Amino acid sequence: MAEKNALLTLPTGETITLPIYQGSTGPDVIDVSGLLKAGYFTYDPGFMSTAATESKITYIDGDQGILLHRGYSIEDLAEKSDYLETCYLLWYGQLPSKSEKEIFVQAITRHTMLHESLAHFFDGFHHNAHPMAMMCGAVGALSAFYHDVMDMRSEREREIAAHRLIAKLPTLAAMCFKHSIGQPFMYPRNDLSYSANFLYMMFGTPCEEYVVSPAVERAMDRIFLLHADHEQNASTSTVRLAGSTGANPFACVSAGIAALWGPAHGGANEAVLIMLEEIGSIENIPEFIEKAKDPNDPFKLMGFGHRVYKNFDPRAKVMKKSCDEVLAELNVTDPRLRIAMELERIALSDAYFIERRLFPNVDFYSGIILSAIRIPTSMFTVIFAVSRTVGWISHWQEMVSSPYKIGRPRQLYTGETERPYPD
Ligand code: SDX
C-alpha cells in the first residue's frame, strides 16, 4: 500500500524510513511498526493520533462534522432508511434489495426469543440493580447458551451469532427494565417491527393489549439508527481488543457494554438528563457553565465535546430535529429541553467552548427524546448498547474475517528499576 514514506532521524543520526499509507479519504497514516527494530515504541496516551486498524465500515470527519456508514451519510440514512436496514448495511457492506431486506428482517425476528433458563438469571439481581449492570452480566451469559455451537472460523456461524446478538439485545434490555419495576417479562412478538417490538416488551403487560404509537415507534427507530456505529470509539475498540484474543462474540459485546457504561462515553446520555435536572432552571445555567470552565472543578458539561468532532456532531443535529418533531407529535413539553437549548446557546457563544471546539454531541438531545417516549433515565445507556451492538459485531466480523494479531500495546516504564530484596 505504501506509495510515500516518512523519514525519521534518530539521536544516533540513523534515519528510519516509515511507510505512509493512504486511505480512500481522511488522513494518511504512518506505519510505525518498524520502530521496534530500532528499539523505540510510539507514545500516544488515549490514542489521540493512532489508527489502530484499517476499516471500511464508518468514516468520520471531525472538522467537517461528517459521518458516513459504508459511504452513506447519517443524514440520508436517518431520513430514508431504518435501523434494521442500517444493520444490514453495516454488516454486509451494501444496502439490501427489497427481498434481501425481507429475508434479513425475518432472520432477526426469529432470533428475538431467549433460552427460557436465561430468565432465571435475573432472579440473582437485586431489584434496584442498574440496568447496565444487568446487561453486562446477561449478555456475557449468552455465551453459556451458544458457546459449544460457535465455530468462529465459519462465516455462516459468525453471521448467525450477529443475527442472535442484534435480535436478542432488545429482549434482554426490556427484561432488565421489567426486572427493575417488578413486572413480568413480555415475550417478543413476531408481528411487530424491531422498534415496535422493543417498546411492546418494555411497556406492554399481560393484563391488557398494548398498542405502540407510530410516532413513538419512529422516534425509537431513529434513536437506534443514530447510535448504530461510530468508527473506533472506546467501546468498539474494546470489542476489537477482546475479539483479537479469540474470545467469543457474546463475551466481546459484553466487554463493549462495560466500556460504553462510562459517563465519558455512552453513559453521557443518562448524565445529561441528571445534569439538566441538577441545573433546574435557566437562571442557574451561568453557575454551571463556570463550573465546567473551572480547571479545578471535575464537573464537565455532559453531552458537550468529542474526541473526534471539533464541529457539530451530525447526529446531534438530526437528534435535535427529531426532538422537536417528537415533542410536537406527542404534545409533550419538557422544561429540560428549554434548559438544554439555552445551555447550548450560552456555551456556543462562550470563548472557553469556542476555543476548545466543544459542541453538543449525540448524547446532548437523545435523553430528551427518550424521556418523551417514557424510557427511564437509567435505561438510556442500555438503549445505546442495544443500538451499538450491530456496530460492535460488524467491527468484530471485519477483524476476525481476515488475518489478525492479538492486540497488545506496550508502555513507557517509569517505575523502579531492578533492586535486591532486603535481607
Ligand atoms: C460518546 O468516540 C466516540 O465516537 C464516542 C461516541 C460514539 O458514538 O461512540 O460519539 C459517543 O461517547 C460521545 C461523548 C459523550 N461524552 C460526554 O458528553 C461527556 C462530556 N465530554 C467530555 O468528557 C469530553 O469532551 C470527551 C470525553 C467526550 C472528549 O474528551 P477528550 O477528547 O479527551 O478531550 P479533552 O478532555 O482533552 O478536552 C479538551 C479540553 C480540556 O480542557 P483543557 O485541559 O484544554 O483546558 O476541553 C475541555 C477539557 O477540560 N472539555 C470540556 C468538556 N469536554 C472537554 N470542558 C467542559 N465540559 C466538557 N464537556
Contacting residues for 33 by C-beta, under 8 A, at least 6 apart: none
pLDDT reported for residue 235: 98
Q: Are 389 and 169 in contact (CB under 8 A)?
A: yes
For ligand 1, atom 12, which residue shows the shortest CA distance?
265
Is 306 annotated in the active site? Answer: yes
Residue from 272, 236, 233, 239 nearest 381 by CA: 272
Q: What is the mean pLDDT of residues 288-312?
A: 94
**Residue 74 one-letter amino acid:** I
Q: What is the pLDDT of residues 125-138, one digit of tens each?
A: 998 999 999 999 99
What average pLDDT does the segment 148-167 reach?
A: 89
Q: Is the pLDDT of residue 169 over 80?
A: yes
Q: Following CA atoms 159, 164, 169, 170 in sequence, which dihedral angle do they give, to the nearest 10 degrees?
A: 110
Indicate whether residue 358 lines ligand 1 (CB < 6 A). Answer: yes
**Where does the pLDDT of residue 333 fall: very low under 50, low under 70, confident under 90, or very high at 90 and above?**
confident
Instruction: Give yes or no: 265 in active site.
Output: yes
Given a cut of 70, whether residue 360 has pLDDT beyond it is yes
- Return the closest-CA partner of residue 226 out of 388, 377, 337: 388
Asked if pLDDT for residue 76 goes beyond 70, the answer is yes
Tell whether ligand 1 has an atom less than 6 A from the beta carbon of residue 230.
yes
Atom of ligand 1 nearest to the CA of 300: 58
pTM of the model: 0.95
Q: Say yes or no to pLDDT of 304 above 70.
A: yes
**449478555: which residue's cell?**
139
Residue 363 annotated among the catalytic residues of the structure: yes
- Residue 18: beta bridge partners? 6
Per DSSP, the chain holds a count of helices (H) and strands (E) of 17, 6
> Does residue 239 have its Cβ closer than 6 Å to ligand 1?
no
pLDDT of residue 228: 98
Phi, psi of 20 (to 5 degrees): -110, 125
Specify the pLDDT at position 337: 86
In the block, cell 507514545 appears at 43
Counting ligand 1 atoms within 8 A of each CB, the residue from 306, 346, 383 with the most, and so the one to mutate, is 306
Question: Residues 267-288: pLDDT tens digits?
Answer: 999 999 999 999 999 999 999 9
Question: What pLDDT digit, counting tens, does each position of 226-242 carry?
Answer: 999 999 999 999 999 99
CB-ligand 1 contact for 264 (6 Å cutoff): yes
Per the prediction, the chain carries an average pLDDT of 95
pLDDT of residue 152: 86
Residue-wise pLDDT for 15-61, tens only, equals 999 999 999 999 999 999 999 999 999 999 999 999 999 999 999 99
> Is the minimum distance from the CB of 226 to ligand 1 under 6 angstroms?
no
